[in-house]
A and B are shown apart, each in its own frame.
Chain A
Amino acid sequence: MAGLLQQPGYEEERLQRISELLPCREVQAGLLLSLMGQPQQYCYPSIFIFGHRSSGKSHVLNVLLKELELPHATVSCVECVSATLLFEEVLLSFFGSDAASLLPRSPSLSDFVRVYRLHRSQFPAKQTRYVIMEKAELLRDAEANLLPALLRFQELVEDNVAVILLSEIVWDTFRPNTGCFEPLLLHFPDYSKGELQQILSRDRHPSYSAEFYSSYINILLGVFYSVCRDLRELRHLAALNFPKFCEPLEAGKVKETDTHKLWKNIEPHLKKAMQTVYLREVSSLQWEQMQQVEEHEAGALRGLSAHTHVELPYYSKFLLIAAYLASYNPARTDKRFFLKHHGKIKKTNFLKKNEKTSNHLLGPKPFPLDRLLAIFYSVVDSRVAPTASIFSQISSLVTLQLLVQVSHDDQLDAPKYKCAVSLDFITAVSRTVNFEIVKYLYDFL
């Protein structure tokens, strides 16, 4: 495919080198290059490039601009917390440090354009200058005039300059309500499975053959492709799990060509990786250490989510259980669950529920403090005095973010709470105090 990039005004061998650096992106790079035109020609004032994460947007641009030695300023909108940093960065990379120092202390856009024009008249552009804004979706949160001004930057400074915006989000959500200069939209499509395979197979291990590595990539994609298409994530996972794949080979159990045995060895391992290291439950370092220690079964290590278990005082546990019950049970069923002599309740009426109203689907409901205490006294077997410590335990549960106070209108008089823990967490807590919570939950009757 090399040699597909053609554009007069640039050296042939450079274009050749670029097309080798950009696998599976020749079409996009070619289109971009033809839009940019020859260095002294004008480029379209603003170009908006969108595509999924790690579809090579900034990589293509960086390689093009670096290899062709075009004047450019790359600005990440995450770093530019204020517009000042953006202005300084652009001036610095186009005109050097003395231009940036001309800006007043808190420059407005007007100052920036003025300083830019001043220098533009001293050093007129011989080649198109490019301003690249990465993560451009953050520009929407900046001042309202920044994005429209950047889109017509060429017109404002009357210079041969083009602004290229990179984003993951579609252009429709960017448009200000009074309209703006419409940029050219370019889409970078996702890599297909074959392309991912091709790119991932490039960074093969030198001590193994290319076919061996590419069969490994094939297995990896078979497990992960339906969940994740992020090249960077896949590359990371490939690097992490490769030693495990090679293990039987090094032990001399199988040959390189015995794909089936290798697959049988690695597949459960990769499935486990999806539940742990893909979710960052287990850090990459821990995962690597786990692979080295033979007797340590992968995944036996407690992940991040297992550490959410906290040690609570006895009454706090019951308070939390009571809060969970109050949040997930409708109030009309309290009598049936928590009163000893509740009399007769019509069974048909009681069990009239459909799936849509299930609280485990809709989320927790707020409840008043009185109801929490009533359920608490009912579930705790012994007599508990309503001391200050009980109430302070409630508020400490709020600071631990296990409970959430809902309405902030009154702190003392009838405050309302919501329980913010998951079912797994609360079953674990109730098991420690020998309380069968599932029996008391309306949704599981």
Chain B
Amino acid sequence: MSKRKLKNAHLPIGECVSQVHQILRERFCRHQLPERPAGLEAQHKHLEELLKRTAVHGESNSVLIVGPRGAGKTTLLRCVLRELSKETEVQKNLLQVHLNGLLQTDDRVALKEITRQLHLENVVGDKVFGSFAENLAFLLEALKKGDRSSSRPVLFVLDEFDLFAHHKNQTLLYNLFDVSQAAQTPIAVVGISCRLDVLELLEKRVKSRFSHRQIHLLSSLTFPQYLDRVRAQLRLPDDFPDGSFAEEWNASVKSLCEDGSVDEVLRRHFHSSTDFRSMHALLMLCLSRVSVAKPAIRPADLLDASRLCSADTKVNMLRGLSVLELCLIIAMKHLNDVYRGEPFNLQMVHNEFKKFLQRKSNSMYNFEHPVVMKAFEHLQQLELIRPVDGSSAKTQREYQLMRLMLDHSQIMEALQKYPQCPTDIKQWAASAFA
């Protein structure tokens, strides 16, 4: 073992870095399954036992996995399914049907997908024949014919479960839950949803057939645990081909997590969200800076990545506006201040702008009305201002009422960052606070 390690320990550095990229990218982007889902032992055990009872003993079950986005719902289910598939009995026995609320937008499409995934007899090649009613009747009959002892159990996974509740009459959900209640083919219905009030969406008859078993994935993470998670996500596995590089890398990750400034940045991220997805996005940005010249993540990389993640997008857009457009935005801000958030139109804005020009007696920005209107329309195109009502054809463009979609602090921040902002405009913007 040690001999092999020694032999492998001399991979060129470029090879090592590309291996690091390969491994970590699969982890962050493909959401490769971890060994055990972290912090979800109880839920994992619960779900595993439930599905095992269906797969082995032929019990019919229904369960909802509820949690916010990026909390690891799909990962949990896939982990459990992976564990189950290791047992030969289950592997032989269990049929799986995966549906997604985003794809199967109505019951007809969902039904076709079910028949296709179950490889039922009326499927020829890749086409499904028969009308919706025939299909449903056929499927129900096939499910009803079975009984607990002889037929193979079916696992239905409904991703984005809340979208299935918007189908007409909730026919699919009703039938699935109905079969799971009756002593027919054993099925397990697993719904995955991010809405906590998902049960309120169900009709009464559907709700009464549901077992009301819910698995909540509400994170109760503390900051040290979060830090551990970051470290675990960045760690290279033990079977990395170049042992010494992996050791170096893991040591650098460890020292990275102990750095003071990194701690501060991670704490800020932890306070804004604790889910895996935003963490992966942050780490992905860090990883993209790792190259042959720089084969480790440095604290500065993390700071840059966090700055990229948390930048205010609207301020960024404001910085690219022309001086005229910026002036119009300041005029709108003044109108908002004076008239307490009443909507405005182009005439008022232009009038306010003209007042500024008169006060300054500065003809540099003395633009014609159509030029101002073009700038105003550009702002509308960028959705920085929005019409109050949609009836655009009825009123003239000058008199259409608009609302500003920015707040004070954004405008002031953008003004401060604006490259070569004229001083008089800066003063004009600040004058409203006096």
Contacts and interface: CB of A to CB of B under 8 A. Distances in A.
Interface of A: 6, 8-9, 31, 34-35, 37-38, 41-45, 50-52, 55, 108-110, 113-114, 118, 143, 145, 148-149, 152, 154-156, 168-173, 178-182, 184-185, 187, 189-190, 192-193, 225-229, 274-275, 278-279, 281, 305, 356, 360-364, 404, 406, 420, 422
Contacts of A109: 102-103, 105
Interface size class of B (residues with CB under 8 A): 35 or more
B319 A181 contact: no
A26 to B, nearest CB: 15
Interface in B267-314: 277-278, 281, 284-285, 288-289, 291-292, 308-309, 311, 313-314
A41 B382 contact: no
A110 B99 CA distance: 10
A114 B116 CA distance: 11
Given A35-B284, A226-B365, A275-B371, A170 B322 contact: no
A182 B278 contact: yes
Contact of A184 (B281, B319, B381): B281
Contacts of A8: 14, 17-18, 291-292
Contacts of A422: 396, 398
B313 A172 contact: yes
A292 B179 CA distance: 83
B30 A42 contact: yes
A145 B30 contact: no
Nearest to B293: A6
A181 B105 CA distance: 18
B383 A173 contact: yes
B135 interface: no
A363 B347 contact: yes
B129 interface: no
Given A44-B28, A184-B285, 19 more contacts: A8-B18, A37-B21, A41-B21, A43-B29, A44-B29, A44-B281, A109-B105, A110-B103, A145-B101, A170-B314, A172-B313, A178-B195, A185-B313, A190-B319, A225-B323, A226-B323, A228-B322, A281-B370, A363-B395
B255 interface: no
B97 interface: no
A420 B396 contact: yes
Q: Which 6 A-B pairs have the closest CB atoms?
A: A363-B399, A190-B320, A34-B288, A170-B313, A110-B103, A226-B323
A154 B32 CA distance: 13
B150 interface: no
Given A37-B288, A44-B284, A170 B317 contact: yes
30 contacts: A6-B291, A8-B17, A31-B288, A34-B288, A41-B18, A42-B26, A42-B30, A43-B29, A44-B281, A44-B284, A108-B105, A110-B104, A145-B163, A148-B102, A156-B103, A168-B381, A169-B382, A172-B314, A180-B69, A182-B277, A184-B284, A185-B313, A187-B313, A226-B323, A227-B375, A229-B320, A229-B321, A279-B374, A361-B345, A404-B395
A294 to B, nearest CB: 26
Contacts of B195: 178
Given A42-B25, A154-B29, A184-B284, A9 B163 contact: no
Contacts of A45: 29
A361 B348 contact: yes
Contacts of B14: 8
Contacts of B381: 168
Contacts of A275: 368, 370-371
Contacts of B30: 42, 154
Interface string B60-73: 00000000011000
A149 B104 CA distance: 11
A299 to B, nearest CB: 12
Interface in B392-434: 394-396, 398-399, 419-420
A76 to B, nearest CB: 17
A218 B289 CA distance: 37
Contact of A227 (B18, B22, B103, B322): B322
Contacts of B382: 52, 168-169
B242 interface: no
B102 A145 contact: yes
Nearest to A51: B320
A154 B399 CA distance: 46
Contacts of A38: 18, 21
A42 B314 CA distance: 30
B251 interface: no
A253 B103 CA distance: 71
B100 interface: yes
B93 interface: no
B351 interface: yes
A114 B113 CA distance: 9
A364 B399 CA distance: 8
B119 to A, nearest CB: 14
Contacts of A41: 18, 21-22, 25
Contacts of A113: 103
Nearest to B25: A42
A156 B104 CA distance: 12
B90 interface: no
Given A8-B17, A184-B285, A364-B399, A226 B324 contact: yes
Interface centre among B31, B324, B364, B383 (most CB of A within 10 A): B383
A149 B320 contact: no
B175 interface: no
Contact of B162 (A9, A114, A155, A178): A178
Interface string B345-380: 101100100000000000011011011001100000
Interface string B304-346: 0000110101101101111110000000000000010000010
A178 B194 contact: yes
B6 interface: no
Nearest to A48: B313
Contacts of A118: 126
B337 to A, nearest CB: 14
B109 interface: yes
Contacts of B419: 192
Contacts of B347: 360-363
B396 A171 contact: no
A42 B29 contact: yes
Contacts of B105: 108-110, 143, 145
Q: Which of B26, B31, B382 has the most CB of A within 10 A?
A: B382
A116 B22 CA distance: 24
Contacts of B126: 118
Contacts of B25: 37, 41-43
Nearest to A276: B370
A229 B317 CA distance: 13
Q: Which of A155, A170, A192, A278 has the most CB of B within 10 A?
A: A170
Contacts of A37: 21, 25, 288
Contacts of A9: 18
A243 to B, nearest CB: 24
Contacts of B375: 227
Nearest to A225: B322
**Most central of A44, A279, A406, A420 by chain B CB within 10 Å:** A44
A9 B19 CA distance: 12
